[in-house]
Structure 1
Amino acid sequence: MSNPHNNNILSEKQRIKEFIEIARLAEQAGIDVFSLGESHQDYFVSQAQSVILSAIVQNTSKIKISSAASLVSVHDPVKLWEDFATLDLLSEGRIELVGGRASRLGALELFGVDFHDYEDVFDEKFQLLQLLNRDEYVSWSGKFRADLNNAHILPRPESGHLQIWRAVGGPAASAIASGATGTPMVLAHLSGPVSYYKQTIDLYRQSAQQNGYDSKTLPITTGGFFYTAETTQQALQEYYPHISSGFKRSNGQDFPKQAFAQAIDPRSVINVGDPELLIEKLVYQHEHFGMQRYMAQLDFGGVPIDKIKKNIEIIGTKILPELKKRTKK
């Protein structure tokens, strides 16, 4: 995607190399996890997500590596499992898998998934993925894939199992379904008050408790837009053109300026501002969400590598040490 400040467009080759460089810098900065999304549309280059993650694994040694997310709806769960179990072995146990729906029709059409089966396809495939994670020999039957008859599922990850999360967007029903199966949840947020997303997290924990799981031990990740600069005004001015351009090209509509301007409110989930404001906001979010992890989406809408590098530096030197100190139990 082009940089809206100067209309520069990177080649696909350069973009992939930047993914690897960003992961290495994140590791050097002491960041705990690096994640890479998957998309099958114009202006994106991470279609072959597991291939790029493999290169990242080989160029890092400590940082956890995760998908964000893998589009379970359009992939065969057995092949997806095989790819990530292999990545886990290559990384010596550093791989996590976040399973999500295909949020855009283009991916469904590309892989021949009927939109009318959208919900059922995801539910069936995600359940099978979890079964593959539990059992080495699997017998299974479903509607959208050939049956498995005592199939030997190989390879097995280093610990025997992968950490599998379920990606949840807006619908509370997805959070409730995650809780009902005791599945760790990754809750993505775009804009709005913390109180709105707390309701979703509360429903997730209630569902888990009602279905016999200890909601206090189920991990939760939240994540969304993140950008920092010397001043909040500078951060807003630099980042909004990327948000606006990214939304127009991927969703066909602009991101409302009024909604983005709410980032200055400590109660907003849009984490854009100077380091001090972001520390306060993330501490506030932790107090309300009780999440174990926050995933910062630094790279959206053509943010240039030099700005990403600067953000990683600030996170590592100013934001992360203070956050760990103030959220330590």
Structure 2
Amino acid sequence: MVELGISTFGETTPLEKTGQTYSHEERIRQLVKEIELADQVGLDVYGIGEHHREDFAVSAPEIVLAAGAVKTKKIKLTSAVSILSSMDPVRLYQQYATIDALSNGRAEIMAGRGSFTESFPLFGYDLADYEELFDEKLDMLLQIKENTNLTWQGKHTQTVINKPVYPRAVQEDVPIWVATGGHVESTVKIAQLGLPIVYAVIGTTPKNFKPLADAYRKIATNEGHPASRIKVAAHSWGWIGDNHEQAIQDYFYPNKQTVDNIAKDRPHWREMTKEDYLHSLSDQGATIVGNAEYVAKKIINTVEVMDLDRFFLHLPVGSLPHEDVLRAIELYGKEVAPRVHEYFQKKEKV
């Protein structure tokens, strides 16, 4: 059965009705409540991304996840993503092994190269080494996962000679997913390693990712990796409201705030128009906004097209009132998820 979850960056953009912005400390506290509610309404996984900029509150997702771990019972807790290229793999493993202890085996790592690059100069890394840093650090992280005592010869990392890494994760095979925006080269590398993959499906229709997902499975299978590790997930932006048209109306302003902020730093992005927004909600776009019935149908379509094992609704993109976010999570768990699960249960029986 497909796993359904939430991803978030802890957005802090101005609220439409008041013009006020949640402080970073307030937004971080809100996230712990959101994790707790997601667990209570039966969602499967909650992921928090790492950023180092004003419009996102979370630079250390592992700390927020640890706070959520002690307040939850079943939900899996993951980064979404950890910018592995600018992190110490030893420290990253120790942090998530600690979350695994606090949650009794519910921690996961989602590693990424970092589509936002503020962390590179902040921690003293050269963007010219972008690919090499990620590849080396991912290999090192996998070595740490497999061996208590680490022996490692580093180029961009430290060299370690037979030193133990503690604590060890509760899960013997703690999941390490790798996120990608949909580059062919990344898909091939992840498949060859036999690691589960997460596609950021945010700029185009999910059907454009199907060839990549199919290629990932074929390559990973041909490499001899076990089926239990060959998994595909997707993450898409979205919002859920009690009223369909109102949800569409409410989501435009915060969505535009985030897109416009990103466009300032990325020449291939542009400020969002209302036409752009409505296109993203169409069958040609990936954004999923509306009432529970509509959101469930669009998630089902995404899952079917890409044959997903897991789906993340990024909720919200841009700031909305916290009470509205909590209501959206409640709708997701109580009304959207049952519809999605019921659909696939009936399909399996046919």
Q: Give the TM-score of the pair, scaled to structure 2.
A: 0.89
Shift of 1:172: 2.1
Query: Could you say which residue in structure 2 is the equivalent of 1:318?
Result: 335
Is the counterpart of residue 103 in structure 1 residue 115 in structure 2? yes
Give yes or no for contact 2:100–2:171 (8 Å, CA) kept in 1. Answer: no
| 1:52-96, Cα deviation, whole Å (9 max, x unpaired) | 221111222221111111110111000111111111111110101
Give yes or no for contact 1:5–1:241 (8 Å, CA) kept in 2. Answer: no
4+ runs deviating over 4 angstroms: 214-217
Query: Could you say which residue in structure 1 is the equivalent of 2:180?
Result: 168
**Residue of 15, 19, 27 corresponding to 2:39:** 27
**Residue of 251, 265, 284 corresponding to 2:301:** 284
Query: Could you say which residue in structure 2 is the equivalent of 1:76?
Result: 88
| 1:139-160, Cα deviation, whole Å (9 max, x unpaired) | 1112111212112121111122
How far, CA to CA, are the matches of 2:16 and 2:118 in structure 1? 24
Q: Amino acid of the residue matched to residue 102 of structure 1?
A: G
| 1:156-209, Cα deviation, whole Å (9 max, x unpaired) | 111223111001113222111111110001111113122211122122122213
The 3-state SS of whatever aligns with 1:126 is helix
Query: Could you say which residue in structure 1 is the equivalent of 2:222?
Result: 210
How far, CA to CA, are the matches of 1:30 and 1:298 in structure 2? 16
How far, CA to CA, are the matches of 2:273 and 2:285 in structure 1? 14
Is the counterpart of residue 132 in structure 1 residue 144 in structure 2? yes
| 1:104-127, Cα deviation, whole Å (9 max, x unpaired) | 232111111101100100110011
Moved more, 292-301 or 115-124: 292-301
The 3-state SS of whatever aligns with 1:138 is strand
Is the counterpart of residue 15 in structure 1 residue 32 in structure 2? no
Is the counterpart of residue 297 in structure 1 residue 314 in structure 2? yes
Query: Could you say which residue in structure 1 is the equivalent of 2:199?
Result: 187
Give yes or no for contact 2:238–2:317 (8 Å, CA) kept in 1. Answer: no
Q: Give the TM-score of the pair, scaled to structure 1.
A: 0.94
Q: Amino acid of the residue matched to residue 229 of structure 1?
A: G
How far, CA to CA, are the matches of 2:272 and 2:65 in structure 1? 29
Give yes or no for contact 2:197–2:231 (8 Å, CA) kept in 1. Answer: yes
CA-based RMSD of the aligned residues comes to: 1.8
How far, CA to CA, are the matches of 2:87 and 2:33 in structure 1? 28
Q: Which structure 2 segments of 5+ residues have no match?
A: 1-11, 265-269
Give yes or no for contact 1:88–1:158 (8 Å, CA) kept in 2. Answer: yes
Q: Which structure 1 segments of 5+ residues have no match?
A: none
In the TM superposition, what are the counterparts of 1:106-255 in structure 2 within 5 Å?
Answer: 106-214=118-226, 218-252=230-264, 253-255=270-272
* Equivalent pairs, count: 329
How far, CA to CA, are the matches of 2:152 and 2:205 in structure 1? 42
Pick 1 or 2: higher relative contact order, CA cutoff 8 A, min separation 6: 2
The 3 A distance-change label for structure 1 pair 259 and 195 is farther
Identity of aligned residues (%): 28
Query: Could you say which residue in structure 2 is the equivalent of 1:55?
Result: 67
The 3-state SS of whatever aligns with 2:118 is helix
Query: Could you say which residue in structure 2 is the equivalent of 1:261?
Result: 278
